[in-house]
């Protein structure tokens, strides 16, 4: 039940690396995909099913992904936990090898903004 391919490789696309990696990790399915989100990932994150992902849904999905990866529920993704999500290195803002919820959500927010090309606060499929 884990992503066992050691070499899933460091290939993270630039545009929405966290969003892509997290949704992929949460689904334990496909490797990181850049935007547009895969239909599966989109469906997971579109909680109310209205065909768009708003910031609140994005936050919820990210929080859920974080909790999912945080196996020992200490609010921090240690290296092994973080690796399950294939998180881009820059998520660990202070470079201490651990990703706190704060670091995670901060990245998630900027990721959302990057993905929201027209800045209307929602992501479309």
Q: Which is nearer to Ca ion, 7 or 39 (CB)?
A: 39
Q: Which is nearer to Ca ion, 32 or 85 (CB)?
A: 85
116 binds Ca ion (CB under 5 A): no
Q: Which stretch binds Ca ion (CB under 5 A): 15-23, 33-41, 74-82, 111-119?
A: 74-82
**CB burial readout 106-120, b (16+ within 10 A) else e:** ebbeebbeebbeeee
92 binds Ca ion (CB under 5 A): yes
* Least distance between Ca ion and beta carbon 39 (Å): 14
Q: Which is nearer to Ca ion, 34 or 122 (CB)?
A: 122
72 binds Ca ion (CB under 5 A): yes
Residues that bind Ca ion (CB under 5 A): 46, 48, 50, 70, 72, 74, 76, 81, 92, 94, 96, 98
């Amino acid at each position: 039940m884990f992503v066992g391919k050691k070499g899933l490789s460091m290939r993270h696309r630039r545009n929405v690396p966290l969003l892509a990696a997290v949704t992929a990790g949460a689904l334990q399915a496909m490797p990181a995909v850049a935007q547009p989100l895969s239909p599966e990932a989109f469906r997971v994150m579109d909680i109310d099913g209205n065909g768009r992902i708003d910031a609140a849904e994005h936050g919820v999905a990210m929080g859920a992904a974080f909790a999912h990866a945080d196996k020992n529920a200490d609010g921090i993704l240690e290296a092994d936990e973080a690796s399950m999500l294939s998180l881009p290195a820059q998520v660990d803002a202070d470079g201490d090898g651990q990703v706190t919820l704060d670091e995670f959500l901060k990245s998630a927010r900027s990721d959302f903004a990057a993905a929201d090309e027209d800045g209307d606060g929602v992501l479309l499929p």
